[in-house]
Amino acid sequence: VQQKYESLKKAYRRLKRFSIRDELTGYYNYSFLVTTLNNEMERTRRSGLPCCIILADIDHFKLINDEFGHEAGNQALKTVTGLWKQNIRQVDYPCRYGGEEFLFILPNEKLVNAIQTAERLREKLERHGLYLKQQRIRLTASFGVSEYNGMSQYSANELIEKADQFLYQAKHTGRNCTCPNNLPRTDSQQLSMAERMALYK
């Protein structure tokens, strides 16, 4: 009886894990994303500590599927997400938003720091690349960053939409770049010297 009970417990834990995880990448799934983002935004409203999200999209990913096949595309996704997971904090939530798009929830994080994180992920991927069929493929990604500070009346969907707008801007700026929220490139004087150094070092 005890052995059967332990087997059932293991099966339940496995089922629970897969109910909140994307099977291919191991990242959290969309349902978990929505629930957790709402929870973190509520935490921000109570504590006053900001949270941020990073929306990432792998550039020209369709070309990998077209050139090397979907199996190679899946391998590329595993490689990219594994690399990114090594370069975020343990408290951050890596989520699969859909297809080759990924969303990172960064609790208790300011915008400047979130931009630094996005840039780190971008640079790591650009340097790492990928080998498919004995051929090195250069991979890049574009990033949109958005902050919630508790003062605004954003919903979770609106916060994601803002990040998506900046991701769209990054794509149309030439890809392989990060576009932040609330940081106009033409008015950097509004930032403190420490923030400017943090952004551009």
Task: Give the CA distances from residue 36 to residues 29, 110, 127, 138, in Å, rounded to whole numbers and listed in that order.
Answer: 11, 18, 31, 33
CB–CB of 103/54 below 8 Å? Answer: yes
Contacts of 101 (CB under 8 A, 6+ apart): 55, 56, 57
Active-site option among 40, 67, 100, 126: 100
The rounded percent of the chain whose pLDDT value lies above 90 is: 73
The rounded distance, in Å, linking the Cα atoms of 190 and 172 is 25
pLDDT, average across residues 32-39: 98
Q: What is the pLDDT of residues 50-95, one digit of tens each?
A: 999 999 999 999 999 999 999 999 999 999 999 999 999 999 999 9
Please tell me which residue, 193 or 45, carries the higher pLDDT value.
Answer: 45
Please tell me which residue, 30 or 9, carries the higher pLDDT value.
Answer: 30
pLDDT, average across residues 17-22: 80
The rounded distance, in Å, linking the Cα atoms of 197 and 200 is 5
Q: What is the pLDDT of residues 140-198, one digit of tens each?
A: 999 999 999 988 788 999 999 999 999 999 999 999 999 984 444 443 334 343 443 33
Judge whether 71 counts as a catalytic residue: no
Q: What is the pLDDT of residue 151?
A: 85
Name the token pair of 106: 């960064």
The rounded distance, in Å, linking the Cα atoms of 151 and 164 is 20
List the domains of the chain with CATH numbers.
19-200 (3.30.70.270)
DSSP-assigned beta bridge partners for residue 142: 57
φ, ψ of residue 151 in degrees (nearest 5): -85, -30
